[in-house]
Structures are given as structure tokens and as C-alpha cells.
Structure 1
Amino acid sequence: MNAGDELPPLEIPITRTLIVAGAIASRDYQDVHHDAELARQKGSPDIFMNILTTNGLVGRYITDHFGPTAVLRRVAIRLGAPNYPGDTMVLTGRVEEVDGDTATVRVLGANGIGKHVTGMVTVTVPAGAAPGAPEEAA
């Protein structure tokens, strides 16, 4: 892994099931994440994804690339445009800095209306683990 390396994009279809399941899994019972009518009453065109689901998807994106032995050390994200059902979020990343076995990756998740998430992730990849390489059979 080297500074400047680009991670391959990951397309994530934004479905109602993903939005509601993510909210339930993170115990976020705010109605705007599961009740379309109440979300509209509060000014949103539909339900939308919560930050904890987005955080989990960013973590998945990084560990999918760096492998199952990668350890997330820090995830710092900021939300922008909401993720609504029927859209697709495309995650992209770029290695900004490498210090030994630790990398800092800039992450962007964009959807049809703009930047949904921006942030930085610090990840440690143990020596001998190749980013993007499949795990060896035991």
C-alpha cells in the first residue's frame, strides 16, 4: 500500500430494506428511518439512511479492500446529501498517507444528489497481509 493508491469503487444499492435494517441494527428508532409518511411530514421526501449505517458501510468498504485482518483504528465521517431508497451510493477511496503498517484513507460516498459521506479512515494492515488479496485457505 502506497500513498496515492486508489481503492476500487463499491456500488451500494440503497433499498428500503437496507435503510430500515441498518436503523434497527443500530437501535435508531427515529421515524425518519422507517416511516415514509412521518418522514414526509417532517419535510423529507422519503425515509433516509442513518449515520450509523453509513459508518458501517464505510468500514466494510475499507475492510473489503484491505482484507479480513485489517483493523479500523479511526473512522471520522461527515454526512451530506441523504441516501434515499432507489438511489445508489458509490464509495471511492484514496490512500493519503502510509506509516509502516498503518494507512490513512480519504473516503467519499456519492449518490444521485451529491456527496452523501466524506471522511478519513485510519486502518492497520498486519505485515504480510496484501490489500485487495483474498484470504489464504487454512
Structure 2
Amino acid sequence: MSPRLSEVSVGDELPPLSVPIQRADLVRYAGASGDFNPIHWNERFATEVGLPDVIAHGMLTMAVAGRLVSNWTGDPGAIVRYGVRFTRPVVVPDDGAGAAVELAGKVAKINEDGTVKVAITAKSAEQGVLGGAAATVRLPE
């Protein structure tokens, strides 16, 4: 059930979310997005260009982080603004387990217009992968 604006306070934490990403997810995302850059599927190419291994698409990482907020609101349409900076790639090894993106969020501000700003933390392999990640949402009264 979606939180109501009257029930939310600055500092409230969103339920944490862990999203697994495997190589097959990268193939599906490439097909959906049209981004077939070999750094997202070819380990040899990825390491030749200086990456530690195949990496997840940045926009896929952004999307899974947005899921933290849409799960909390119960309505993806409640998100009125969302932005991130890509600070570190999510490395996805071909080991059957892949990578996990660990997500946390906190109510950072309740704006005068009744919207709520949520600060998002996204980590993979215990390192931050997104910087300045935040969403502004409109909650029911």
C-alpha cells in the first residue's frame, strides 16, 4: 500500500531492495534498448578496453534503482522527477550468480508543493555505483 503524504517524515527509510543482474539480463536489456555495445556482453572486448569484466548498461542500473522508489509508492506514475550520476559500473561476472545492486532510500525533503524528495543509495560489490541519485514523488494526501 502506498504511503500517504501525511504519514511521511524526513528521515524515513524506504524498504531496502536487492536486485540481481546476470548476463542474460544484459542480453534482454540490449534487445529492448538497442544498445548492443560489446562491453555489455563480450568479456574479451570489455577487458581489452580496460574494464574488469562485462558491465551492466548504465540505464539498466538507473532503472533498477528507480524500482526502489516505485515499489515504495506502489505507483511508478507517482515519480515526477528522477536523476542520477553514473559513478562506477556494475560488473557482471559470468559465474552463475552475476552481480547484485543493493538499494536503499531515505526521505530527504518534503517540498512546499507537497512532493517528496527521496535520496537513493545504490551499491554493487560494496561500492557506490550511482551518485546524486534522487527521485521526487507525489504521494496521495
Unaligned stretches of 5+ residues in structure 2: 1-7, 93-97
Q: Which residue matches 2:17?
A: 10
Helix, strand or coil: the match of 1:4? coil
- Partner SS state of residue 129, structure 2: strand
Gap regions ≥5 residues in structure 1: 128-138
CA distance change for structure 1 residues 70 and 3 in 2, over 3 Å: closer, same or farther?
farther
Matched, 1:103 2:103: no
User: Secondary structure in 1 aligned to 2:11?
Assistant: coil
Is contact 1:70–1:126 with CA below 8 Å preserved after alignment?
no
Query: Larger deviation: 102-111 or 40-49?
Result: 40-49
Identity of aligned residues (%): 28
How many Å separate the matches in 2 of 1:107 and 1:69?
Answer: 16
Mapped pair 1:94 → 2:106: yes
- Which residue matches 1:41? 48
Question: What's the TM-score once normalised by structure 2's chain length?
Answer: 0.80
SS in 2 for 1:6: coil
Q: Return the match for 1:116 from 129, 134, 137.
A: 129
**CA drift at 1:101:** 4.0
User: Letter of the aligned partner of 2:89 in structure 1?
Assistant: P
State the shift of 1:108 in Å.
0.7
Which whole-Å CA distance do the structure 2 matches of 1:63 and 1:70 have between them?
8
More helix by share: 2
Aligned length: 127
- Per-residue CA distance 1:22-74 (angstroms, 9 max, x = gap): 23322212111122221121111221111211121122111101112642111
**Contact 1:106–1:120 (8 Å) recurs in 2:** yes
Give distance in 2, aligned partners of 1:73 and 1:22: 24
Mean Cα deviation higher: 17-26 or 100-109: 17-26
Greater shift after overlay, 69-78 or 47-56? 69-78
The amino acid that maps onto 1:95 is V
TM norm structure 1: 0.82
